């Protein structure tokens, strides 16, 4: 018995009692998930969904070892970290062993937002500076202090950028100002940070920190060019600031070759503060800030105690230890590398086949598919991306579309994702893209002269037609029952075009 209410009642109660700004996935046709195992989720009817987006269920949904560890410790003791307990020190020791030596002091929190908020406090206390440089489209958390440094949020809301916040361009070599054809995009993007620092200094401002995800996730699965972080760190240090690497989304072996994504940049790059969360507790609320002894001492010298009621409690640390054990015993880092490479290979074949795919970028099990309607102009295929994620859902695959234009399909599944899962996901995508392009192409041919090279340009009227036609998608995976709920008339693509 996994349900208290039938789906329509759940929806109605949610509408009544849950804040309207708390959004659901697939808002036009939400899914009710009642249980999950490994990389699969199940709705109230028992329909299976392949989870390609949940990087929180890092070692797999409801991993038995993690569940057992939580249960064992809950039966014994749970209390705050003011009592001596072995779990917190054992976890801190194990975590520190995964990081470069100088990152050895931990502060435990309950969420990535709390971790980033504390990181800002550490940075500001260190030299007494206030200003923060953040990347465009970045998201670092939901607290007020983080909305202020998250252009992903404040650019969409009514908030204005605060004076102490400086927004540097995202080092995006596909869509940004300095692209893959640039001789040295790392230096070019780092120079933008240098210019920001110089401008700030001219106005008497002082830089406390540069904060960036080691790979930008909400920003569109962006991988910074090699050498960028080293150069930025040098400029920021020179200005008396610290480098904060936000690994809340991308840490704990997701990139395969390394445990932390910032390590891709080489051993000569070590951030001053690293924040982590989501995968750390495999769904249990657990997060952390790790920094250097010097920064921790400066924070302590302020005289203010840091106390966090739940941070680092014995249950959370038991869970965290179980997660580290599973990553190791199941070689999930190796799996991320192997399956990630295979998936990238499959997707690159799709890129050669489908004009809608502009760029495949990724490393390990962190991959983005940048959809475009015009390869040269790199015009974001926003409506198509939304259409695709709804069609993928019909086929039992959960994906999301993000980035500033919401045209990048994000892939960041649980780390137990297999080659069979990768193949299944790509096969479904292939079918959807084929139907989409055929329909669009057929429509386009009737309005474009016959000898015009066929691109995935979507004439306005054709999109509406396309949706009406595609409700009869005969290629749907026969192994899945069609639930008929995601009628195309509900999809955001049709909604957008019809309103
Ligand atoms: C990069 C990044 N940092 C921080 C956070 C905030 O983490 P939480 O939602 O656990 O507070 C998020 C959440 O999505 C995130 O993506």
Residue 219 CB less than 6 A away from ligand 1:
no
By alpha-carbon position, which residue is closest to atom 7 of ligand 1?
Answer: 112
Higher pLDDT, 484 or 32: 32
Please answer whether residues 336 and 255 qualify as being in contact, where contact means their C-beta atoms are separated by less than 8 angstroms.
Answer: yes
Mutual angle of helices 112-127 and 293-300, in 10-degree steps: 80
Long-range contacts of 425-430 (CB under 8 A, 24+ apart): 425/50, 425/52, 425/343, 425/392, 425/397, 425/399, 426/343, 426/346, 426/347, 426/350, 428/392, 428/395, 428/396, 428/397, 428/477, 429/350, 429/369, 429/388, 429/392, 429/397, 430/350, 430/353, 430/354
Kindly give the distance from the C-alpha atom of residue 246 to the centroid of ligand 1, in angstroms, as a whole number: 9
Beta bridge partners of 274: 245, 290
d(CA 98, CA 497): 49
Q: How confident is the model at residue 160 (pLDDT cuts 50, 70, 90)?
A: confident
Residue 324 CB less than 6 A away from ligand 1:
no
Q: CATH class for domain 7-61+332-442?
A: alpha beta
Describe the chain by its helix, strand, coil percentages, rounded to 5.
40, 15, 40
Structure token pair of residue 185: 């995009």
CB-based contacts of 358, cutoff 8 Å, min separation 6: 174, 370, 371, 372, 375, 378, 381
Q: How confident is the model at residue 45 (pLDDT cuts 50, 70, 90)?
A: very high
Q: Where are the domains of the chain?
A: 7-61+332-442, 64-330
Kindly give the distance from the C-alpha atom of residue 146 to the centroid of ligand 1, in angstroms, as a whole number: 10
Cα 27 from chain centroid? Answer: 19
Full 3-state SS string of 68-90: HHHHHHHHHCCCCCCCCCHHHHH
Which one, of 147, 123, 300, lies nearest residue 207 by Cα?
123
What count of other Cβ atoms lies within 10 Å of the Cβ of residue 228? 22
Mutate to test the pocket of ligand 1, among 277, 310, 410 (most ligand atoms within 8 A of CB): 277
Please answer whether residues 68 and 322 qualify as being in contact, where contact means their C-beta atoms are separated by less than 8 angstroms.
Answer: yes
Beta bridge partners of 368: 361, 410
Mean pLDDT of 8-15: 97
Structure token pair of residue 309: 């009621």
d(CA 274, CA 104): 10
d(CA 308, CA 349): 49
Residue 283 CB less than 6 A away from ligand 1:
no
Left (φ > 0), alpha (ψ -120 to 50) or beta: where does 432 sit? alpha
The tens digit of pLDDT for each residue in 62-119 reads: 999 999 999 999 999 999 999 999 999 999 999 999 999 999 999 999 999 999 999 9
Check whether 499 has a pLDDT greater than 70. Answer: no
Query: In 3-state terms, what secondary structure has residue 274?
Result: strand
Query: In 3-state terms, what secondary structure has residue 37?
Result: strand
Looking up tokens 């760029």, which residue turns up?
359
Mean pLDDT of 190-207: 98
Check whether 14 has a pLDDT greater than 50. Answer: yes
Left (φ > 0), alpha (ψ -120 to 50) or beta: where does 223 sit? beta
Which one, of 399, 372, 331, 370, lies nearest residue 54 by Cα?
399
CATH number of 64-330: 3.40.640.10
Which one, of 367, 78, 69, 7, lies nearest residue 223 by Cα?
367
Higher pLDDT, 165 or 491: 165
d(CA 403, CA 398): 17
Q: pTM higher than 0.75 for the full model?
A: yes
Residue 213 CB less than 6 A away from ligand 1:
yes
The tens digit of pLDDT for each residue in 468-487 reads: 223 223 333 333 432 322 33
What is the predicted pLDDT for the residue at 159? Answer: 74
Residue 249 CB less than 6 A away from ligand 1:
yes
């Amino acid at each position: 018995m996994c349900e208290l209410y039938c789906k329509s009642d759940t929806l109605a109660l949610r509408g009544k009692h849950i804040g309207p700004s708390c959004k659901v996935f697939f808002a036009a046709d939400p899914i009710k998930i009642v249980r999950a195992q490994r990389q699969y989720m199940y709705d109230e009817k028992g329909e299976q969904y392949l989870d390609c987006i949940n990087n929180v269920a890092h070692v797999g949904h409801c991993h038995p070892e993690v569940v057992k560890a939580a249960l064992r410790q809950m039966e014994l003791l749970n209390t705050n970290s003011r009592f001596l307990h072995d779990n917190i020190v054992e976890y801190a020791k194990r975590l520190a062993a995964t990081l470069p030596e100088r990152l050895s002091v931990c502060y435990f929190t309950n969420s990535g937002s709390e971790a980033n908020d504390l990181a800002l406090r550490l940075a500001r206390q260190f030299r007494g500076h206030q200003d923060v440089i953040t990347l465009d489209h970045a998201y670092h958390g939901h607290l007020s202090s983080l909305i202020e440094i998250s252009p992903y949020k404040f650019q969409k809301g009514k908030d204005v950028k605060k004076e102490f916040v400086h927004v540097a361009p995202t080092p995006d070599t596909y869509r940004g100002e300095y692209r893959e054809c640039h001789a040295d995009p790392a230096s070019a993007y780092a120079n933008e940070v240098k210019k920001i620092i110089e401008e700030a200094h001219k106005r008497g401002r002082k830089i406390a920190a540069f904060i960036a995800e080691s790979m930008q996730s909400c920003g569109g699965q962006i991988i910074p060019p090699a050498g960028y972080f080293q150069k930025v760190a040098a400029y920021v240090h020179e200005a008396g600031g610290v480098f904060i690497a936000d690994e809340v989304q991308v840490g704990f072996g997701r990139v395969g070759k390394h445990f932390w994504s910032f390590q891709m940049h080489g051993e000569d790059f070590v951030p001053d503060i690293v924040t982590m969360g989501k995968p750390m507790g495999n769904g249990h609320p657990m997060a952390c800030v790790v920094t250097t002894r010097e920064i921790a001492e400066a924070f302590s010298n302020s005289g203010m105690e840091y106390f966090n009621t739940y941070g680092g409690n014995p249950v959370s640390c038991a869970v965290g230890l179980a997660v580290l054990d599973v990553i190791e015993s199941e070689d999930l880092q190796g799996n991320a590398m192997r399956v990630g490479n295979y998936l990238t290979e499959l997707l690159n074949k799709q890129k050669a086949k489908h004009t809608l795919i502009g760029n495949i970028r990724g490393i390990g099990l962190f991959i983005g598919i940048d959809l475009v309607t015009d390869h040269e102009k790199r015009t974001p295929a926003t409506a198509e991306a939304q259409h695709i994620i709804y069609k993928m859902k019909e086929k039992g695959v959960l994906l999301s579309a993000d980035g500033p234009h919401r045209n990048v399909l994000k892939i960041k599944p649980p780390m137990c994702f297999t080659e069979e899962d990768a193949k299944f996901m790509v096969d479904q995508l292939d079918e959807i893209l084929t139907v989409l392009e055929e329909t669009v192409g057929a429509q386009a041919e009737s309005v474009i002269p016959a000898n015009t090279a066929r691109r995935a340009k979507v004439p306005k009227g054709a999109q509406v037609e396309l949706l009406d036609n595609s409700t009869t998608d005969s290629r749907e995976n026969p192994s899945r029952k069609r639930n008929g709920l995601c009628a195309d008339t509900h999809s955001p693509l049709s909604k957008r075009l019809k309103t």
